[in-house]
Structure 1
Amino acid sequence: EPLFTMKPGKTYKYRVCNVGLKSSLNFRFQGHTMKLVEMEGSHTVQNDYQSLDVHVGQCFSVLVTANQESKDYYMVASTRFIKNVLVGKGIVRYTDGKGPASPEIPEAPVGWAWSLNQFRTFRWNLTASAARPNPQGSYHYGSINITRTIKLVNSASKVDGKLRYAINGVSHVDPETPLKLAEYFGIADKVFKYDTISDEGLAEGATTVTVAPNVVNATFRDFIEIIFENHEKSLQSWHLDGYSFFAVAIEPGRWSPEKRANYNLLDAVSRHTIQVFPKSW
């Protein structure tokens, strides 16, 4: 049975989300192009794609027009960047379809350089939605002075025989007293410490992981530049819960202030989840 049916000549919107825990996915629609119109709540420049990499926690909306031969077609999702590729398929059927889907499934791209180049094609649609000032009073993020720069480096190490993941060398654990409750009753200093991690990231070669509450203090309405730096051999997906940010650049290697010259300060997409490729920022 088909997952979806389409009437010839009609255009349909599909929202594709990666709700997994680890693997990036490549999504493609057999015999059709996908027009990207939205990602994570932001309207995008409407480019056409044969396939899209969707990383953990990300959602894309695409338009697909039923303008091909009336029959069945596969929609395909396959894992990326792992040795043993897993493939999931579903049938989309034209309402007057008269034939099965072709067994020739469109191939997925190989390597993360392709995915990096695709990221660079994503642009915010500046002609969609009403203009509104941000909390700093500007209508455009590229004209706001940066108040603070925080580099966040992910790492992994064993602590007491258990694998722990850490940010700037600290692996977060919740204290017995909830953080906001401790603040409300004025006992935060007895429950946890603010800013146990440095804004400078992780020192070169540092491998020690400390298990503790990891709470970063920030000033209301500061405009913060956050650098996600991945020293690991596998892709990492970063999510800022309750916040959106402008993904202005992804590059291999380590970040340095000179890299700001490569930022997209015009039409980077506002989003809440971003992939960081191996040995990249």
Structure 2
Amino acid sequence: MEKITALVLATAVVIAWIAPPARGEVRSFQWKVEYIYWAPDCVETVVIGINGQYPGPTIRATAGDTIRVELENGMSTEGLAIHWHGIRQIGTPFYDGVPFASQCPINPGETFTYEFVVDRPGTYFYHGHYGLQRSAGLYGSLIVDPVPSDAVPFTYDGELSIVLNDWWHRSIYSQETGLSQLGSAFRFVGEPQSLLIEGRGRYNCSLIPAAPSSPPLSGDVMSCNSSRPQCAMHALAVRPGLTYRLRIASVASLSSLNFLLEGHNMTLVEADGHYVTPVEISNLDIYSGETYSVLVTANQDPSRSYWAAVNVRGRRPATPTGLAILSYGDGSSSSAPPSTPSPQSPAWDDFAYSVAQARRVVSRPGFQIPLPERANVRLMLLSTQNRIDGKIKWAINNVSYVPRATPVIAAFQFNLTTAYDLAASPPRDFSRGYKIRNAPPNPSAIQGSGVYTFRHNDVVDVVLQNSNTLVPNNSEIHPWHLHGHDFWVLGYGSGIYRPHRHASTLNFVNPPMRNTVAVFPYGWTYLRFRADNPGVWAFHCHIESHFHMGMGVMFAEGVDRLPRIPAQALGCGYTKALFTAP
């Protein structure tokens, strides 16, 4: 009987995955994106806000609903696009929000309407995808509830949601300029000054010189005031004895993070919108672009509060712990911070711990999407750091991604061969003799559009291969995000992936489905996806500076089945010729 029940449930999950969602409500929003003064970590700066607030408004919907966002670009000096992270955009690839891939940027003063269906429940978010706008604060939560008839394989009494990110006092324009300099003038973004929980952190104001009290310099010096309400510690309010679903998302621009709750274990139950086999953990590694749900029971002494903490992992930490308060009570701003020391995460360079935790995340029985038995396409993608024309770049199989002025999706739909060589494809493999622990000897690296093409329903295996940077004895964590899809994570390993040695280590039984996955230093990560969503989809490192420096590719699939691109998504590059002035 149990087997029959499991089979029925699994069949229902597959049908829900393949079939279009039932038509739900239309949820409409009007947003204006503009520069605002804000003090996320008590240091006042200019951030990119929505309707005068930071972080942006939370969107809450039910699976099958249509989201309609009228987005006005109120910024006077730059374009705009918003990506709906984790939403597959089935039938609406032109609303994925990647400038020069799925649409033209929204110009200052223009209004663009995004309209798409959220087809399945889960924890998601949205963020700016133009330049480094995510790093400037353009992001917010997007939570999709299941329809009432859908089974949820765990119970809880309440729900909390937080977004984690890292924060700099330097503007994104200064950061972008530094990344684009020649030779020794190159300036990396450096380590963040603060870690924020739900948009709030606390910088040590004593490290900033006091600002003059009068002009002409009073507006030109950083102002830090720890009594500002905008940087008051975020409070997670719980009641004794109750169990809470805590939704966690990382929109970090650089840092791999580790989240933990003082005195409380967590049970991991959801990853990137998919239910996973419950895993009890004391802390959670979370990489940029990932989302999780954990269950937390308020089973400690209710007479005191506890720390919620986030620390840097994977990089030598130079950033203080980010803190919030787990408050037994009403969670008001008067909740006293704990008097205990902040909890400590595993060592920043304990990568074995990180890999072991990643391998514990597997799909939940009864909610597994069947894995295709075999792939007919395989990509071996080697990421390297290179010098191209005197500039430091990242490259994939020796090609560093550079966006062009014409959206890739439009080039395919309108056969704009002057914009792209649509028949060309970057290398699908790299030399097996490559020494991943040596400084990259790649004098032939070039800049390009990095467009791989697939037929509709191709099953594609991708091996992400990490290597040494230009700095000796240095390799970094890279979280890779695929737009328009979820994929099965089949395995992780160290060294160069070799089929005869590593194929037997892959998980074909209960691989988790994700939209973002980490590749660890000097290691490889193996994933599989089905190219069943016609469109042009970015696949890139979710670290802002790395993608800006070329660490990404484009997947064009089923381009003979593309839906008609709306006029509002066109008008730049060679698509300008498609329109005539009235």
How does the TM-score come out when normalised to structure 2?
0.44
Report whether the alignment pairs 1:109 with 2:367: no
**Aligned residue number for residue 410 of structure 2:** 181
Deviation per CA, 1:101-135, whole angstroms, max 9, x where unpaired? 2423322112111101111111110224xx7xxxx
Alignment check: 8 A CA contact 2:412 2:422 kept? no
Distance 1:67 1:182, change over 3 A: same
- Where structure 1 has 5 or more consecutive residues not aligned to the other structure, the ranges are 132-138
Aligned residues: 271
Distance 1:222 1:13, change over 3 A: same
Distance 1:2 1:275, change over 3 A: closer
Alignment check: 8 A CA contact 1:26 1:80 kept? yes
1:74 to 307, 311, 323: 307
2:507 to 260, 264, 276: 264
**Cα displacement (A) at 1:184:** 2.1
Higher helix residue share: 2
**Cα displacement (A) at 1:31:** 0.4
2:271 to 28, 39, 55: 39
**In structure 1, distance between residues paired with 2:311 and 2:300:** 23
**In structure 2, distance between residues paired with 1:84 and 1:265:** 36
1:219 to 442, 445, 455: 455
Q: How does 1:96-135 map to 2 (within 5 A)?
A: 101-110=338-347, 111-128=350-367
Q: Residue 89 of structure 1 aligns to which amino acid in structure 2? A: L
**Aligned residue number for residue 56 of structure 1:** 288
Name the SS for the 2:492 alignment partner.
coil
**In structure 2, distance between residues paired with 1:96 and 1:191:** 57
Q: Residue 240 of structure 2 aligns to which amino acid in structure 1? A: P
**Cα displacement (A) at 1:202:** 5.2
**Aligned residue number for residue 516 of structure 2:** 273
- Where structure 2 has 5 or more consecutive residues not aligned to the other structure, the ranges are 1-232, 436-440, 469-474, 525-582
Alignment check: 8 A CA contact 1:28 1:77 kept? yes
Q: Residue 345 of structure 2 aligns to which amino acid in structure 1? A: A
Distance 1:182 1:103, change over 3 A: same
Name the SS for the 2:453 alignment partner.
coil
Instruction: After superposing the two structures, state which structure 1 stretch, 173-182 or 236-245, moved more.
Output: 173-182
Distance 1:145 1:84, change over 3 A: closer
Alignment check: 8 A CA contact 2:384 2:398 kept? yes
**Cα displacement (A) at 1:153:** 1.1
Q: Residue 91 of structure 1 aligns to which amino acid in structure 2? A: I
**Aligned residue number for residue 246 of structure 2:** 14
**Cα displacement (A) at 1:185:** 2.2
**Cα displacement (A) at 1:12:** 1.0
Q: Residue 238 of structure 1 aligns to which amino acid in structure 2? A: W
Distance 1:99 1:149, change over 3 A: same
Report whether the alignment pairs 1:89 with 2:323: yes
Distance 1:17 1:202, change over 3 A: farther
Q: Residue 73 of structure 1 aligns to which amino acid in structure 2? A: Y
**In structure 2, distance between residues paired with 1:202 and 1:189:** 31
Alignment check: 8 A CA contact 1:29 1:73 kept? yes
**Aligned residue number for residue 135 of structure 1:** none
Alignment check: 8 A CA contact 2:271 2:514 kept? yes
**In structure 1, distance between residues paired with 2:234 and 2:480:** 34
Distance 1:2 1:152, change over 3 A: closer
Name the SS for the 1:182 alignment partner.
helix
Instruction: After superposing the two structures, state which structure 1 stretch, 22-31 or 143-152, moved more.
Output: 143-152
**Aligned residue number for residue 228 of structure 1:** 464
Deviation per CA, 1:11-45, whole angstroms, max 9, x where unpaired? 11111111112110000000001111101011011
**In structure 1, distance between residues paired with 2:412 and 2:359:** 41
Q: Residue 448 of structure 2 aligns to which amino acid in structure 1? A: A
Structure of higher RCO (CA pairs closer than 8 Å, 6+ residues apart): 1
Deviation per CA, 1:245-280, whole angstroms, max 9, x where unpaired? 111110100011121111110111100111111110
C-alpha RMSD of the superposition: 2.1
**Cα displacement (A) at 1:82:** 2.0
Q: Residue 246 of structure 1 aligns to which amino acid in structure 2? A: W
Alignment check: 8 A CA contact 1:153 1:202 kept? no
**In structure 2, distance between residues paired with 1:194 and 1:69:** 65
Deviation per CA, 1:132-171, whole angstroms, max 9, x where unpaired? xxxxxxx621x52221111111111122222221111111
Name the SS for the 2:392 alignment partner.
strand
Runs of 4+ in 1 over 6 A off after TM superposition: 96-99
**Aligned residue number for residue 140 of structure 1:** 370
Q: Report the structure number with the largest CA radius of gyration.
A: 2
Alignment check: 8 A CA contact 2:325 2:337 kept? no
How does the TM-score come out when normalised to structure 1?
0.89
Instruction: After superposing the two structures, state which structure 1 stretch, 100-109 or 159-168, moved more.
Output: 100-109
Alignment check: 8 A CA contact 1:243 1:272 kept? yes
Distance 1:3 1:216, change over 3 A: same
Alignment check: 8 A CA contact 1:169 1:202 kept? no
Deviation per CA, 1:212-231, whole angstroms, max 9, x where unpaired? 11110111101111100001
